[in-house]
Chains A and B, each alone.
Chain A
Amino acid sequence: DAKTTQPPSMDCAEGRAANLPCNHSTISGNEYVYWYRQIHSQGPQYIIHGLKNNETNEMASLIITEDRKSSTLILPHATLRDTAVYYCIVKANFNKFYFGSGTKLNVKP
């Protein structure tokens, strides 16, 4: 199963776009890219997922490169409430859902 690599932390100014990168160079053709976030030790919260096309929902946008070896989660207008640990996960099956250490996003006023 593919594993992911994320920077341990990032800063973003409030109101600006937050772009969180993720490398998944060993991703398989049937594995989806998922993003979750965890706010202050609460249960992880689903954000978005995609296979190869870019995806957008009310929370965020997901940009997946054409070779699928990396992706970027975009929070278009970050707020202080978006301060959290963001996890990038590649998933092919329900019991292959590996959470790494994630990226701690600090949104600053």
Chain B
Amino acid sequence: NAGVTQTPKFRILKIGQSMTLQCTQDMNHNYMYWYRQDPGMGLKLIYYSVGAGITDKGEVPNGYNVSRSTTEDFPLRLELAAPSQTSVYFCASSYEGGPTSEQYFGPGTRLTVT
């Protein structure tokens, strides 16, 4: 299994541009998540999904959108990029959502908005 994969690894955007961060998992996990990590800080939850067609907001959803059309894919869309969205973005997945279900993380996408 490849686990959780993310593309691209790095990206530089100009203010106002848009982009989609891709995330794919091959573990047949129902739950998927997007986090952002600012320098020297912990991770913050942006959006999550409990299954295909179902998504919900996390702690910091403003400026982002997600969709979940398949079990495997969970893309994150940035509209009108702003410097405040400069961060490292991590996608994660878990088989279920209960307290004993650990999350598996992708390698991250480092995004700079200038």
The residues of A with any CB-CB pair to B shorter than 8 Å are 30-32, 34, 41-46, 49, 87, 91-95, 97-102
Which are the 6 A-B pairs with shortest beta-carbon distances? A94-B97, A43-B105, A99-B42, A99-B43, A46-B102, A32-B99
Sample (5) of A-B pairs whose CB atoms are under 8 Å apart:
A31-B99, A93-B98, A94-B31, A95-B97, A99-B35
- In the complex, besides A31-B99, A32-B100, A100-B42, 14 extra interface pairs with C-beta distance below 8 angstroms are A30-B99, A41-B108, A43-B90, A43-B106, A44-B105, A45-B105, A46-B103, A46-B104, A87-B42, A91-B99, A93-B98, A94-B33, A94-B96, A95-B48
* C-alpha gap A43/B99 in the complex (Å): 20
Q: Is the CB of A97 within 8 A of B107?
A: no
Contact B58 A95 (CB under 8 A): yes
What is the minimal beta-carbon distance from A48 to any residue of chain B, in angstroms?
Answer: 9
In the bound complex, residues from chain B placing their C-beta under 8 Å from that of A92 are 99
In the bound assembly, the distance between CA atoms of A31 and B99 in angstroms comes to 7
Whether the Cβ atoms of A34 and B90 lie closer than 8 Å is no
Q: How many B residues are at the interface, by size bracket? A: 20 to 34
Question: A-B contact count, CB below 8 Å?
Answer: 62
**Residue B66 CB within 8 A of the other chain:** no
Q: Are B97 and A93 neighbours in the complex by a CB distance under 8 Å?
A: yes
Q: Which residues of B contact A49 (CB under 8 A)?
A: 100, 102
CB atoms of A97 and B45 under 8 A apart: yes
Query: In the bound complex, what is the Cα–Cα distance between A44 and B69 (angstroms)?
Result: 26
Contacts of B44 in A (CB 8 A): 99
Q: In the complex where A32-B100, A94-B98 touch, is A44 in contact with B43 (Cβ < 8 A)?
A: yes
Give the most central of A49, A99, A100: most B CB within 10 Å: A99
Contact of A93 among B41, B99, B105 (CB under 8 A): B99
Binary per-residue interface labels of chain B (78-90) against chain A in the complex, 1 for a CB within 8 Å, 0 otherwise: 0000000000101
